[in-house]
Chains A and B, each alone.
Chain A
Amino acid sequence: MIRHLLSGADLDAATATQILDTAAEMATVAGREVKKLPALRGRTVVNLFYEDSTRTRISFEAAAKRLSADVINFSAKGSSVTKGESLKDTALTLQAMGADAVVVRHPASGAPHRLANWVDGSVVNAGDGTHEHPTQALLDAYTMRSRLGRLAGLHVAIVGDVLHSRVARSNVLLLSTLGAKVTLVGPPTLIPVDISAALAPGTDVSYDLDTVLPGVDVVMMLRVQRERMGDSYFPSAREYARRYGLDGPRLRRLPEHAIVMHPGPMNRGMEITPEVADSPRSTIVEQVANGVSVRMAVLYLLLGGNNL
């Protein structure tokens, strides 16, 4: 088993499948009388969040607690970080406190990789800058597999702000490992040049959503990350929504079995209309529930044995 989970590329097909299978077992815990397993009793998991997050932090916290680990939540606001403490010094503090795993979200791409060299425990990347978010990719893959029954051979369209999206990057890596085909769709300004060569060969790029929709099994809408961009990537929010937003008419152009995903948080009316977001083909709420199971699986497989 791997020691850290930093990138979607850390996982080969066998390991990724093992995580998804383990997550399926973990999911049954949610329906039990006692929603707790003793597997990580006495282990400490630190949630180190330098960036705002609702679902990822809560999801990791719930996952660690369901496995009986002790959870320490650290958010940069209200900590010594505001006094100027560096990531390394914070890491050494966590090390001294005996953290067995550090779940880190950081605005700088690559911060979890640096952290992995400084601490003895496992590091789980919970989103670093515009780089990667591997557990999101795993929960997306889990959701696709549970809705559509398989991953190999699926055609997945990832639509929107690919440039700033760590979700897109991790998904391209993981989905291609698991045999799905990915088409990235968005305005040319928001799709990096040569991304398929950089991430996974075989990844297609399209600038026209309407031609892609009839042939996909999954359409994954990305949030337009206004906080990471000026206004120069597209002329207006209305134009973006008109060309790349998923609305009712576009939803009806999808094949009947196709599902709609969104990693959240959504900009309703921008990349997705409320009609689509709340439709039965949307898996958005399911993704949140699956997130806990997948993160339980990741924490168990990293920390459950003596492989530290």
Chain B
Amino acid sequence: MACPPAAPSSPPRQPSVKVILAATDVSRVVDRIAHQILEKTQGAADTVLLGIPTRGAPLAKRLAARISTFEDVAVPVGVLDITLYRDDLRRHATRAIGPTQLPPGGIDGKRVVLVDDVLFSGRTVRAALDALNDLGRPASVQLAVLVDRGHRQLPIRADYVGKNIPTSLAESVKVTLAETDGLDEVKLYGGTPS
């Protein structure tokens, strides 16, 4: 690894930041997941993409747009707010709830692909599965994530992973998207400086 000479005046204990995916990488990764969804679902028939706010929602929209570019199929997109199903609801001050929007056809009998930015403990996905249970009965549920950083606390795995990032628990992964933050980027913060 190339080590640039340390700047003598650099402030001490600056937390390390590493860009894992730049904007062009994010777009390539989204394209690949779109292709994988098409491949694994044999053309994305009867498939619904549900984004988990905040950043899963724009990701789901992008995936649907890419899928329709590649194969000319319109995949319904929705938003699934999981706030009221979180297992830590009571450990924090009251959280504002967001919108849940199911596509007009609903989710009964459909193949639902949940879309989120980072897969970490798996608790968000568990909450999403509980929320789905109250909204209808999908034929099957799959999970697509931009980043899998490991450290699962529940028996949950993703069907489509943009990038696996091995992390320590001291580190944090931050995804930003153009729609919500103005810029597509995945960064790794903290931990041991590399």
Contacts and interface: CB of A to CB of B under 8 A. Distances in A.
Interface string B131-149: 0011110000000000000
A33 B94 contact: no
Contact of A33 (B89, B99, B135): B135
Contact of B96 (A18, A28, A302): A18
A36 B91 CA distance: 21
Contacts of B96: 18, 21-22
Contact of A305 (B81, B93, B133, B134): B93
Contact of A304 (B81, B89, B100, B130): B89
Contacts of B136: 33
Contact of A39 (B84, B92, B100): B84
Contacts of B97: 22, 25, 300
Contact of B92 (A21, A301, A302, A306): A306
Interface in A22-45: 22, 25, 28, 32-34, 36-39
B15 interface: no
A199 B85 CA distance: 40
Interface string A32-69: 11101111000000000000000000000000000000
A296 to B, nearest CB: 10
Q: Which of B90, B92, B96 has the most CB of A within 10 A?
A: B90
A82 interface: no
Q: Which of A1, A25, A36 has the most CB of B within 10 A?
A: A25
From DSSP, what is the main secondary structure of chain B's interface residues? loop
B95 interface: yes
A305 B95 contact: yes
Nearest to B94: A305
Interface residues of A, number: 20
Interface string A272-308: 0000000000000000000000000000111011110
Contact of A306 (B85, B90, B100, B133): B90
A25 B81 contact: yes
Nearest to A302: B94
Contact-size category for B: 20 to 34
A37 B92 contact: no
Contacts of A18: 96
Interface string B149-185: 0000000000000000000000000000000000000
Nearest to B92: A305
Contact of A38 (B85, B91, B99, B100): B85
Nearest to A29: B134
A38 B84 contact: yes
Given A37-B134, A38-B85, A39-B84, A25 B92 contact: no
A307 B93 contact: yes
B98 interface: yes
A32 B134 contact: yes
Nearest to B127: A38
A270 B93 CA distance: 47
Contact of B134 (A22, A25, A33, A307): A33
A305 B91 CA distance: 6
A115 B100 CA distance: 37
A64 B23 CA distance: 46
A37 B90 contact: no
A25 B96 CA distance: 10
Contacts of A28: 100
Interface in B57-105: 81, 84-85, 89-100
Interface string A11-23: 0000000100110
Interface of B: 81, 84-85, 89-100, 130, 133-136
Interface of A: 1, 18, 21-22, 25, 28, 32-34, 36-39, 300-302, 304-307
5 contacts: A33-B134, A33-B136, A304-B84, A305-B89, A306-B91
